[in-house]
Structure 1
Amino acid sequence: MAKQPMLRFVSVGKEMPEKRPPDLRTEDFGEIYGEYASEKAAEQAGRCSQCGVPYCQSHCPLHNNIPDWLRLTAEGRLQEAYELSQATNTFPEICGRICPQDRLCEGNCVIEEAGHGTVTIGSVEKYITDKAWDEGWVQPIAPTAERTESVAILGAGPGGLAAADVLRRAGVQVTVYDRYDRAGGLMTYGIPGFKLEKPVVMRRIEQLEKGGVEFVLNCNVGEDISFDAIRGKHDAVLIATGVYKARDLSIPNANAPGVLPALQFLTASNRKSFGDEVPDFDDGTLDAKGKRVVVVGGGDTAMDCVRTAVRQGATSVKCLYRRDRENMPGSRRETQNAEEEGVEFVWLTAPLGFITDDAGDLSGVRVQQMRLGKPDASGRRAPEVIDGADYTEDADMAIMALGFEPEDMPSLFDQPELAVTRWGTIKARFNTHETEMPGVWAVGDIVRGASLVVWAIRDGREAADSILTYLSAPAQVAAE
């Protein structure tokens, strides 16, 4: 009888794929984790306890069938494992790389709670999907029958692309409109290559193109084509534009040269990785080389910025965050990676203003020190200013990673009837993602506010199912 492939967590310890040493990985923008060998992937997948109530699955926004594809991996049935993973997740190789597993599936693993170390779910997911690409198991979409209905998707980020995938598999004609010259949204231009190498994104987009998804790029809806024209051309419209407007700080010299929004900094770096011409990078404006860099913020975008600045050759990189390590919103794994790479975290601090030299260029950040007081409405302890504890951090570049806000979508699309919340996000039904405009849906960050890629994927897949129902019985659904 073959040896039991599962329940090996008692005898086999947790082991991540090999991570490149900091002094080597900071020399380039390649991913920092290697791949499992097939035997190691099977061994680590075999640590799963196959528990009766899989908390990993319930805490995954996509409710991926994690225990089953772990078992298939442990048994060497890798193609089946990939197909099961792909059944609920449009981009498993991307989620395996960038999902904060420590806050989601792995953070709720039963054997982790028992002290044995979590199953390395994300790394196994990445392994089986990369294996699927290598072996040719990932094929272009081939609907069993084509349909005449067409759907417009505004935004080529994860939410829009996930919906496009589901709709094309059902035979619907899909056109994706996006303002950028490449599809992928923040997966292409926001997330650095050391977390998500760009060929990984581009091959998925190519798969969608080969499967019949049409992309209209460099297209600003509301300028190059009107929203009404798109509605008139298609049977349904899905808004998946994301949120790109940086949150501002109302402090002195916030617009000084050298004070940059995070996305502008990250986009320039990612464009250079594609070989694009980026004048603001080439003239040094968006290049951290030789500079003292201060990043403000404690989320995953801030971690992307500090680690990018290190790779660009910054003299020093510091991250200011107004709460402490235990209360920061970013991934603990990313924080650890940043510290290994030389980033200094200055906890319980916030910018009070920016200091410029005689030429008007940034020379420092005036910092106020904080302490944690009583919990606020969210349950987190609120930061309070310590009077008289201000000081100056020297800086040649300050990057604001304070989150993103939605653009004024009703004005941008010239659609005053497009209902939005008091935060400016589009109003949409929770389960169907329908807006208050007939035949128009909305998903992802433009509804949720800035969130995770995996949540956008879930929204896109759910909205696609709702759109398919609408297209099959439009009169009935519209009446409802």
Structure 2
Amino acid sequence: MSDKMLQFVRQERKMPEKRTPKQRSEDFREIYDSFTEGAAQIQASRCSQCGVPFCQIHCPLANNIPDWLMLTANGRLEEAYELSQATNNFPEICGRICPQDRLCEGSCVIQQSGHETVTIGAVEKFLTDTAWENGWVKPVVPVRERAETVAIIGAGPGGLAAGEQLRRRGYQVHIYDRYDRAGGLLSYGIPGFKLEKDVVDRRIKLLEEAGIKFHLGQDIGGTLPFSELREKHNAILVATGVYQARDLSLPGSELGNILPALYYLTEANRRDLGLGSDHMSEDLDAKGKNVVVIGGGDTAMDCVRTAVRQGAKSVKCLYRRDKENMPGSEREVKNAEEEGVEFVWLSAPDAFVGTENVSEVLVSKVHLGVPDASGRQVPQIVPDSREAIPADLVIKALGFSPENLPKLFNEQALEVSSYGTLQVNNSTMMTALDGVFAAGDIVRGASLVVWAIKDARDAADQIHSYIERRKTAAA
């Protein structure tokens, strides 16, 4: 082992410098600076190189974290980058948006021993940004080209990762998406203060240079029949993600200025990108408004922090459990609190009040009862605890459900689960339709980008095996 490791007993954990809350509230730039090379080496040297690397075990992609931390600590940055990207198609993106506090860093052995965790995500971001700056990131070049073509429906992280893996094997890859820009939630769902869009754009450009063909603005099942894709391609991967917002059926829900989170975030991201919209209006701008966001996940954090940057008069986040039970990243909650967001814990909305537009949210206090079958305490309304909270804009960030793909694609043979997700063979990842595979949130349910990448890489392997079997059978 390098003598530069095990420095956690001498070196304290440090994150890259973070801009002040006032600076952050004035733009949509990322809030963390990058490590210098020296700082990255010091933080990487804190790794204990433990015999059982729980950071790697708790990474969905099983990234070889201890080894690329050791290489970084020894200044072997290009080798460290090569190792980090060997298991991850988008390390610069995961380094920015993965909830490391719930995954690799949250499982770090030195944290369990009383020292603070290694800053794995920040080192990963530094490594890949350095690789881009030095020209180490190259487009995939297949050893040989294949005649077979694969269609991927969805240009989000899952679709992009699968596309790169299949292109690496020489397949002709075509990615179809309904939106006018590739990237899915990376482009339109995640705000720039967590992931600046040039980071996404340069990755998509690299995939285009590798030979992947993008077909944007496509209405699959409408102007472009799903059956036509099946006839045209040797295999199809459905990687649409889940976009249907979960809703609250409360009195007053029909009032204006009550929006689903993704609708609000998409339009905010379009503005940040300088893109116009047919339905962009002042209703979608939080400037000068009392904003109430309902929900406790990372999407809710994206919404409250976006509202701060749009100049909201006040921003409150309502969540029916307490801070300790919040599903969102602890780091994101802290960032939101620093930026002036008020969290109203143990509260549940009862109704929306107003004439044409919402003006108040009626909220009751909640106490946590006995645990349910999942082990989480059940929220229970406290009688006679209702109060009114001023609200000119309400954003519902309650999670996402799958769209009805059999109906959307006009393909009733696609089988779905009781949750509406596509059913696949767990071994082959194939749906009920021969040659049609599915991966990511549309199978798993709403989850993390890193899980979409993992599922997509597995699906690419299964598609390759399927095409090889058919080729062998036809020989």
**TM-score if structure 2 supplies the norm length?**
0.98
The one-letter amino acid paired with 2:351 is G
Identity of aligned residues (%): 61
* 2:392 aligned with 1:396: yes
Give the CA deviation at 1:255.
2.3
After the TM superposition, which of the residue ranges 184-193 and 250-259 deviates more from structure 2?
250-259
Assess if the C-alpha contact under 8 Å between 1:247 and 1:402 holds in 2.
yes
What are the Cα deviations for residues 112-170 of structure 1, in whole angstroms up to 9, with x where unaligned?
10111000000000000000000000111111110011100000001111100100011
Name the structure 1 match of 2:430: 434
Q: Structure 1 pair 395/472, CA: closer, same or farther in 2 (3 Å)?
A: same
The one-letter amino acid paired with 1:403 is G
Q: Structure 1 pair 263/19, CA: closer, same or farther in 2 (3 Å)?
A: same
What are the Cα deviations for residues 160-196 of structure 1, in whole angstroms up to 9, with x where unaligned?
1110010001100000000000000000000000000
What are the Cα deviations for residues 21-78 of structure 1, in whole angstroms up to 9, with x where unaligned?
1011111000000000001100100100000000000000000000000001011111
Name the structure 2 match of 1:299: 297
Equivalent-residue separation in structure 2 for 1:25 and 1:49 (angstroms) = 34
Equivalent-residue separation in structure 1 for 2:117 and 2:97 (angstroms) = 17
Give the CA deviation at 1:429.
2.8
Assess if the C-alpha contact under 8 Å between 1:280 and 1:286 holds in 2.
no
Name the structure 2 match of 1:228: 227
Equivalent-residue separation in structure 1 for 2:224 and 2:470 (angstroms) = 25
Assess if the C-alpha contact under 8 Å between 1:288 and 1:314 holds in 2.
yes
358, 362, 370: which one aligns with 2:358? 362
Q: Structure 1 pair 475/374, CA: closer, same or farther in 2 (3 Å)?
A: farther
* 2:401 aligned with 1:405: yes
Name the structure 2 match of 1:315: 313
What are the Cα deviations for residues 418-457 of structure 1, in whole angstroms up to 9, with x where unaligned?
0100010001133432212110110111111111000000
Which aligned pairs between 1:321-470 and structure 2 lie closer than 5 A?
Answer: 321-357=319-355, 360-470=356-466
Which aligned pairs between 1:53-452 and structure 2 lie closer than 5 A?
Answer: 53-281=52-280, 283-357=281-355, 360-452=356-448
Name the structure 2 match of 1:29: 28
Assess if the C-alpha contact under 8 Å between 1:432 and 1:462 holds in 2.
no
The one-letter amino acid paired with 1:122 is G
Give the CA deviation at 1:414.
1.1
User: How many residues are matched?
Assistant: 474
After the TM superposition, which of the residue ranges 434-443 and 154-163 deviates more from structure 2?
434-443
After the TM superposition, which of the residue ranges 237-246 and 468-477 deviates more from structure 2?
468-477
**Secondary structure, aligned partner of 2:459:** helix
Q: Which runs of 5+ in 1 are unaligned?
A: none
Assess if the C-alpha contact under 8 Å between 1:175 and 1:213 holds in 2.
yes
The one-letter amino acid paired with 2:344 is V
Name the structure 2 match of 1:4: 3
Equivalent-residue separation in structure 2 for 1:186 and 1:21 (angstroms) = 27
What are the Cα deviations for residues 71-114 of structure 1, in whole angstroms up to 9, with x where unaligned?
01011111111111111000000000000000000000000101
Equivalent-residue separation in structure 1 for 2:237 and 2:130 (angstroms) = 32
Equivalent-residue separation in structure 2 for 1:431 and 1:103 (angstroms) = 28
Assess if the C-alpha contact under 8 Å between 1:431 and 1:462 holds in 2.
no
Q: Structure 1 pair 477/73, CA: closer, same or farther in 2 (3 Å)?
A: farther
Equivalent-residue separation in structure 2 for 1:3 and 1:55 (angstroms) = 20
**TM-score if structure 1 supplies the norm length?**
0.97
Give the CA deviation at 1:415.
1.1
After the TM superposition, which of the residue ranges 296-305 and 137-146 deviates more from structure 2?
137-146
**Secondary structure, aligned partner of 1:102:** helix
Q: Structure 1 pair 353/66, CA: closer, same or farther in 2 (3 Å)?
A: same
Assess if the C-alpha contact under 8 Å between 1:433 and 1:459 holds in 2.
no
Q: RMSD in angstroms over aligned alpha carbons?
A: 1.3
The one-letter amino acid paired with 1:424 is G
